[in-house]
């Protein structure tokens, strides 16, 4: 074999070993990431089932010993409750803005959403799914 070719072949062999080692390391990382991804997908699926189960549960009746919630004094809360009394079903903050003749603008929607969340925390309304509000069932 030619004296010039032998060193080149040795360098090619060394480079092939380096690339093979790097490829093996990447395959190991891919396998680890794929396993982690399967775990996360399974957990996401479990959470979806849990959410569906919780939403299917009948609402609990309020304890008669509990005092009724004290509503905020601001008249907007009375307007919101009036709109829900006439509503056929659940509403989003945007729907409520339209029903209350508020300009459908981000600040009005966010303000309404905040009030709806407060009424949920007081036990007056229920949030059936994220962003969808309805009267609490008796």
Enclosing domain of residue 115: 75-135
In terms of domains, do 90 and 52 share one? no
Q: Is the pTM of this model over 0.75?
A: no
pLDDT digits (tens, 9 = 90+) for 72-122: 888 889 999 989 888 888 999 999 999 999 999 999 999 999 999 999 988
Q: How far is CA 31 from CA 19, 26, 95, 102, 123, in A?
A: 18, 9, 47, 54, 48
CATH number at residue 104: 1.10.10
- Taking CB atoms within 8 Å and a gap of at least 24, the contacts of 58-63 are 59/126, 59/136, 59/137, 61/138, 62/123
Domain tally for the chain? 2
> Token match 């509990």: residue?
66
Residue 2's pLDDT band (boundaries 50, 70, 90)? Answer: confident
pLDDT digits (tens, 9 = 90+) for 29-77: 999 999 999 999 999 999 999 988 888 887 766 666 767 777 888 888 9
Cβ atoms of residues 16 and 23 within 8 Å? no
In terms of domains, do 95 and 53 share one? no
């Amino acid at each position: 074999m030619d004296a010039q070719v032998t060193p080149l072949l040795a360098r090619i062999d060394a480079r092939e070993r380096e690339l093979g080692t790097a490829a093996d390391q990447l395959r190991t990382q891919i396998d680890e990431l794929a396993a982690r991804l399967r775990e996360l997908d399974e957990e996401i699926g479990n959470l979806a089932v849990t959410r569906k189960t919780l939403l299917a549960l009948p609402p609990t009746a309020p304890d008669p010993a509990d005092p009724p919630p004290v509503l905020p004094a601001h008249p907007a809360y009375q307007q919101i409750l009036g709109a829900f009394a006439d509503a056929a079903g659940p509403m989003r903050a945007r729907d409520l803005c339209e029903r209350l003749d508020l300009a459908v603008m981000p600040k009005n929607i966010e303000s309404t959403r905040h009030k709806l969340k407060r009424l949920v925390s007081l036990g007056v309304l229920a949030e059936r799914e994220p962003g969808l509000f309805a009267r609490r069932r008796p």
